[in-house]
Structure 1
Amino acid sequence: MERTLVELLRSNAEHAREFGSRFDAVQDSQRPDVVTVCCSDSRVLADSLWGNDEPGRIFTCCNVGNRVVQRTDAGEAVSGDVLYPLEHTGTGAAVVVGHTGCGAVTAAYDDLTEGVSEPAGIEHCLGLLEPRLEAGVESLPPDLPRAEAVNRLVEYNVDRQVEFLLESDDVPGHVDVVGVVYDFQDVYSARRGELHVVNVGGVTDVGALRDEHPEIDSRIDRLWEY
């Protein structure tokens, strides 16, 4: 760990030399254009996947399973991590970023189909995912290989998180909500690291989305139109 930390700090020194002046306009406040909700999987490079190198542009949230839901004493609510920029910084767009081969979705799928035992903290996270994935698991084509089932459920999970944002009274009506999948397993194409749009404002029909958004029609795709 010590060697790893030394290497990380060396990289940070290079970062500081390159980025120092880029914080001038955002030292005292922020008004990011978008909040992204990514999985905390180490293969998902939450800012780099957008090519972002501008401090203050993207408000990035990461957690297991790219969830927008948290439990409160009053019941389920939009996670404060996601809601904060929408409520307080004028952010006008939210993007839920799933990814191929998601470990959280895999664990939820395994638990729903076979039952698994996890430590309490992981169990809590799965408990927020599984109620939204259960109907998707039941709708999967029979005898689908596990990896293919998981990647279809990745889309299904993105859809459910988008749906929760759209239905919440806490999310301002003007906020654009989009769902995408980050692919590094050659599932959608051979262009590893590419993002594929699967949901825009609750619309999931690929043809309809391509007609409505011709400027990104080549980036709109789905594995599963259930």
Structure 2
Amino acid sequence: MSDSISELLGRNEHHAREFENDRFEDVQDGQAPPFVTVCCSDSRVLQDELFENRTPGDVFTVGAIGNRVFEETATGLAVSGDVLYPLVHADTDTVVVIGHTGCGAVTATYKDIRDEIEEPAGIRHCIDLLKRRLADGVVALPEGLDESEAINRLVEYNVDQQIAILRESDDVPEDTDIVGVVYDFQDVYTDERGLVHVVNVDGVRDPEQIEAEHPELADRVQRLWTY
């Protein structure tokens, strides 16, 4: 057995000591988290840590390659049950879709759209799902971008597409607030690594409109690509 597993279990002991006594008392019999976050499955993006989530029951966290909110079902595409569960059963009223700079899933999808790449079946399935929503974005990209610039604009486009899916679904309650952000650890938006930048609110992606409608978010609204 790898020493890294022992190290991981040791970290859990530290966690358990920090959370002893009454940290879980309020959520023993259920949960009602105000937020569900949908983040890309990437080891560089600490989904709970980036919002300093240390309170059990506060944030319902969902991770998926490419921060996808949808999946293939027997009857076609549908909003993922991972995302729907807190909205339908736990009184959650806000979804935060979190993309991130340099996203590997978006990169792979971009490369596959331009020139098919080989991937194992499971990864191929994820790429094919993303391709359905990103293909038009690749065509619409401004000319003259290098690959990194193209990828980071598609990261925003992907967040927009995931929000569109949520808004189009009859399964998502109408009064759900949906916010799209991009987590930047590569100095793409600013030199303050780790900030999330708001790129979409309830389907609105124009920064000026978002700022006008949500002045409390004004200092965090920023996009690389308005289309």
Superposition TM-score, scaled by structure 1 size: 0.98
CA apart distance, 1:132: 0.5
Deviations along 1:110-168, whole A, 9 cap, x unmatched?
00011101110000000110110001000111231000000000000000000000010
Q: Which residue of 2 aligns with 1:13?
A: 13
Q: Unpaired segments of 5 or more residues in structure 2?
A: none
Q: Which residue of 2 aligns with 1:193?
A: 194
Residue type of the alignment partner of 1:173? E
Q: Which residue of 2 aligns with 1:129?
A: 130
Deviations along 1:75-105, whole A, 9 cap, x unmatched?
1000000000001001001111000000000
| SS across alignment from 1:22 | coil
Matched, 1:150 2:146: no
Residue type of the alignment partner of 1:13? E
Q: Which residue of 2 aligns with 1:213?
A: 214
Q: Which residue of 2 aligns with 1:163?
A: 164
| SS across alignment from 1:131 | helix
Distance (Å, rounded) in 2 between the aligned partners of 1:95 and 1:72? 23
CA apart distance, 1:7: 1.0
Q: Which residue of 1 aligns with 2:139?
A: 138
Where do residues 11-90 of structure 1 align in structure 2 (5 Å cutoff)? Answer: 11-20=11-20, 21-90=22-91
| SS across alignment from 1:170 | coil
| SS across alignment from 1:185 | coil
| SS across alignment from 1:61 | strand
Query: Structure 1 stretch 166-175 or stretch 16-25: which is displaced more?
Result: 16-25
Deviations along 1:3-30, whole A, 9 cap, x unmatched?
1111111111111011122111101100
Q: Which residue of 2 aligns with 1:2?
A: 2
Deviations along 1:144-201, whole A, 9 cap, x unmatched?
1000000000000000000000010000001101110000000000110100000000
Distance (Å, rounded) in 2 between the aligned partners of 1:185 and 1:101? 8
What RMSD over aligned residues (CA atoms) do the two structures have, in Å? 0.8
Distance (Å, rounded) in 2 between the aligned partners of 1:213 and 1:174? 16
Residue type of the alignment partner of 2:115? E
Deviations along 1:27-48, whole A, 9 cap, x unmatched?
1100001110000100010100
Distance (Å, rounded) in 2 between the aligned partners of 1:216 and 1:200? 10
Superposition TM-score, scaled by structure 2 size: 0.98
CA apart distance, 1:2: 2.0
Q: Unpaired segments of 5 or more residues in structure 1?
A: none
CA apart distance, 1:54: 0.2
Q: Which residue of 2 aligns with 1:177?
A: 178
